[in-house]
Amino acid sequence: MIIVLKTGTAEPEIQQVVDAVKTFGYEPRLIRGVERTVIACVGDERNHHTLESLIVLPQVETVTPVQKKYKLVSREYQPQDTVLDVNGCKIGGGTFQVVAGPCSVETKAQTLETARAVKASGATLFRGGAFKPRTSPYDFQGLGREGLELLRQAREETGLPIVTEVMSPQDVDMVAEAADILQIGARNAQNVPLLAAAAKSGKVILLKRGLSSFIDEWLLAAEYICVHGNSKVILCERGIRTFEHACRNTLDVGAVAVAKKETHLPVFVDPSHAAGRADMVIPLARAAVAAGADGLLVEVHPNPATALSDGGQQLTPKQFAQLMAEIRPLVGVMGKKLQSA
Ligand code: PEP
Ligand code: MN
């Protein structure tokens, strides 16, 4: 932490700050300028009391942290890419994986038809929501337990590992029984008890970025999962809220590049929730590959016009086949290997 004192602060007031810094366990180093005094506080900011509260002292101008708050997810901590293994499906470290499937699990026929179709086009994991965090309480909330059973059947038939969302800590055990990867959705991205409970399942966690989360908040959410003993995390950028409304959200391609640089975790992109409209999903998927993503999460429905959620953004199986054909060469250009089931 760097504490800058106000111009002309007298010696007793300087000493008061120095004493406070020592009380909090830091070693203060004074830099006396012509007009101002700066106090550099030496100590690990992650395991000492925060000095940020000293801003309330009248002689303190600014208190600035110099250390990043995340550690376990950082490249400094682990320089090499994390490579996860989900039933033999390698995620990260030069591979490229595509998770595809409907927004919501609706019926057995819809689920199995989609699973077969996305597998045939090269998806390596199957997604589908059984517990849906809908904005309106009047909208379809998902099939719940019954949906998990349909996902189990899809895995049994296709062999594709399952990615599905868990919305509350008390559901973790039940969802983890059916899922190979637990998804934590954008609306729950900073739900600390859920992050902790999901971590304890020992499953790989796909962590969406919150609708309005800064990148460091997203990385700190991943840090929570690691701190709770599970470093098997996939970061997923899914578009953020901005002033622009041509698309449902704004895909933050820059966040992919930042997350790849700052962390060793695999970074996926969900172009479906970023776009909110089917005709923009393929262009955003291409951008994701070019920005260095390690995988995609794409919504596919056999008949999007009848979908019970997110109909406007789901691709038909044919459009999904087109997406796969378009990204295939780009993945190669990026030096990654597109896996196929
Ligand atoms: C989803 O993947 O279906 C979903 C609800 O995503 P998000 O949490 O990113 O809105
Ligand atoms: Mn959706």
Query: What digits encode the pLDDT tens for the residues 196-208?
Result: 999 999 999 999 9
Contact residues of ligand 1, CB 6 A cut-off: 103, 129, 133, 185-187, 208, 238, 270, 273
pLDDT of residue 26: 95
What DSSP character marks residue 136?
A: S
Atom from ligand 1 closest to the CA of residue 187? 8
Read off the pLDDT of each residue in 256-277 and give the average, rounded to a whole number: 98
Question: Which value, to the nearest 10 degrees, does the dihedral of the CA atoms of residues 79, 84, 88, 90 take?
Answer: -60
- pLDDT tens-digit map of 89-111: 999 999 999 999 999 999 999 99
Report the SS3 class of residue 194: helix
pLDDT of residue 180: 98
pTM strictly above 0.85: yes
Q: Counting ligands in written order, which one lies closest to the CA of residue 307?
A: 2
Give the whole-angstrom CA distance, residue 322 versus residue 100: 13
How many angstroms is it from 273 CA to the middle of ligand 1?
7
How many angstroms is it from 60 CA to the middle of ligand 1?
43
Task: Output phi, psi for 280, to 5 deg.
Answer: -105, -5
Q: Residue 278: pLDDT above 90?
A: yes
Beta-strand relationship, 37-42 and 89-91: unpaired
pLDDT of residue 340: 76
Question: 């039940």: which residue's tokens?
Answer: 174
Q: What percent of the chain has a predicted confidence (pLDDT) above 70?
A: 100
Positive or negative, the CA dihedral 148, 152, 153, 159 is positive
CA distances from 28 to 17, 63, 109, 112, 323 (A): 9, 13, 67, 63, 57
Mean pLDDT of the chain: 97
Nearest CA to 206 among 89, 91, 327, 81? 91
Q: Nearest residue CA, atom 4 of ligand 1? A: 185
pLDDT of residue 49: 84
Q: Residue 256: pLDDT above 90?
A: yes
Structure tokens, 166: 């868990």
How many angstroms is it from 322 CA to the middle of ligand 2?
20
